[in-house]
Structure 1
Amino acid sequence: DPPLPRDVWLASTEVFLARGSAGSSDGLTLVAKGGHNGEHHNHNDVGSFLVAVDGVPVIVDAGRPTYTAATFGPDRYDIWTMQSAWHNVPVVRGRTQPAGRDATARGATAEIGDDASTFTADLAAAYPDAGLDHWRRRARLDRVAGRVEIDDAWRFADDAPTGDDTLLHLLVAGDVRLETGGARVIPEGGARPVRLRWPEDVAATAEVRHLDDPMLTEVWGGHLTRLALPLASRTQLQVTVELDTPIEDSP
């Protein structure tokens, strides 16, 4: 069996993991990464994060499709699974993350504690043409509250307000039901449902991506759902993930 340490921080690659307790996949697990977009087998995903419940991924990275000639050629980033628009990161002023080592996280750190463990990084350099002063992301597993918290705070160098072309994507596996101020997700594989929450005035939308590549359907089934959270007029956003009690059928 794998060792399942409670906390992992790989400083050289800026990969962070936090579980509820050592030796068990029960409850929520948070993974986040800094790094850069010039890594081996790279996806454009600086600052992305993942959440699993009872060992089953819920907020996910789609992974790799079947290898083709395009996978390792100049058309690599035409493949949707490699694009930052299909990872759990923002689109800033209509711009996604480019490939290359210069698209990087700055100041990535981890703070490990018994009550909570936290990853922080500035993602601004991963959007070199977006005019950001900073985009600070904090990803935190609060073990006392039993909650994952994703906090984004940003400012543009010209102090302009955030427009309609800035949004946050979340890629979700399982059955997704959008609600005011959040979503309820029933994961694959019998894991407990979770509830995602964000401010009620954020009018999120859902896009279903139907899958036909066997490398993806074997893991995720027939579809993934991409949530889009518009960020116009905002300078910060918090998204939380918590276990949710199943809603009983009425008699």
Structure 2
Amino acid sequence: MARETAASAEGLTVAVKAGHNGEHHNHLDVGSYWVAVHGRPLVVDVGRPTYTAATFGPDRYAAWPLRGDWHNVPEPGAPQRPGPEHRARDVRVELGSDITELTAEIGAAYPSGAVDRWERTVRLTRARTADAAYVTVEDRWRGGPERVAVHHVLAGEVAFGDGWATVRAPDGSGLRMRWDARLATATVVRRDLDDPLLSRSWGDHLTRLTLTVRAPGAEGRLSVRWLVAARLLKKRTAAHSIGNR
């Protein structure tokens, strides 16, 4: 986990997971990441639903909150598979005052033959080296999957268009997402929540925004950037100024 400002929830916070898919109480989420604004998670991990007998049996991954397609991970023609052999490799971490990032090769999280190599980098760039802090998620792959999709699970009201999306929570926290519209198109699915544990965390619904790469080819790259929504930044600045007059 990395914060825009040390020991403070103000601004951006990002977390990312490497690991493997044989962990205790595992979800299929190698390479997943989460982003919060001012302490409010907006790019989220769904979390655990109410446990049933099926949760610990052979049908564990029939439950949608545990599957890879409801985590912030790629799907290179096939979903992630359970088991410790489906893991992140070559994990590298850079801890800097201006930039903090994690890079991992996560191709082994998928069935054999799905993709030769998938490298994901999640990076927090702090405002000292930019106009505003931002989170970049960069995926690079090799191996020619016929379909490449990248999922993002969002908690809040979602709007989107060519190359952009926003997610806003009831408390006013907001994120803006950007990508190259020439490379990928966006679709959204709303998931109404009836599990009391999930509703307690996220309200009455979650939204999955999926970027589908237009032409994956034998190798490719897709990058998304998350920033605090500009209009909300101005509101917060104005409120801060008034409070200090």
> Do these two structures clear the TM 0.5 threshold for a shared fold by scoring above it?
yes
> Is the 2:40–2:173 contact (alpha carbons within 8 Å) kept by the matching residues of 1?
no
Deviation at 1:133, TM superposition (A): 2.1
Q: Are the equivalent residues in 2 in contact too, given 1:120–1:136 (CA < 8 A)? A: yes
Letter in 2 for 1:111: E
User: What residue in structure 1 maps to residue 243 of structure 2?
Assistant: none
Length, aligned pairs only: 225
* Aligned pairs (5 A) from 1:83-162: 83-93=67-77, 95-144=78-127, 145=130, 146-156=133-143, 160=144, 162=145
Runs (5+) with no aligned partner, structure 1: 1-16
TM superposition score normalised by structure 2: 0.88
Contact 1:135–1:155, Cα closer than 8 Å, also in 2: yes
Aligned residues with identical type, % of pairs: 45
Matched, 1:182 2:164: yes
Q: Which of 202, 206, 224 matches 2:206?
A: 224
Higher helix share: 2
CA separation in 1, counterparts of 2:122 and 2:198?
A: 26
Q: Secondary structure at the match of 1:216?
A: helix
Q: 1:35 aligns with which of 19, 22, 37?
A: 19
Please list every run of 5 or more consecutive structure 2 residues that lacks an aligned counterpart in the other structure: 235-245
How far off is 1:191 after superposition?
4.3
Q: Which amino acid aligns with 2:163?
A: G
Does structure 1 residue 197 correspond to structure 2 residue 181? no
8 Å Cα contact 1:53/1:191 also seen in 2: no
The alignment status of 1:19 with 2:3, answered yes or no, reads yes
Question: Secondary structure in 2 aligned to 1:132?
Answer: coil
Q: What's the C-alpha RMSD, in Å, of the aligned pairs?
A: 1.4
Structure 1 residue 244 corresponds to structure 2 residue 232: no
Q: Read off the aligned partner of 1:147 and give its amino acid letter.
A: Y
Corresponding position: 1:77 with 2:64:
no
Distance in 1, Cα, partners of 2:8 & 2:231: 22
Contact 2:4 2:11 in 1 (8 A): yes
Describe the SS at the equivalent of 1:98.
coil
1:131: how far off? 3.7
Distance 2:51 2:137 in 1: 32
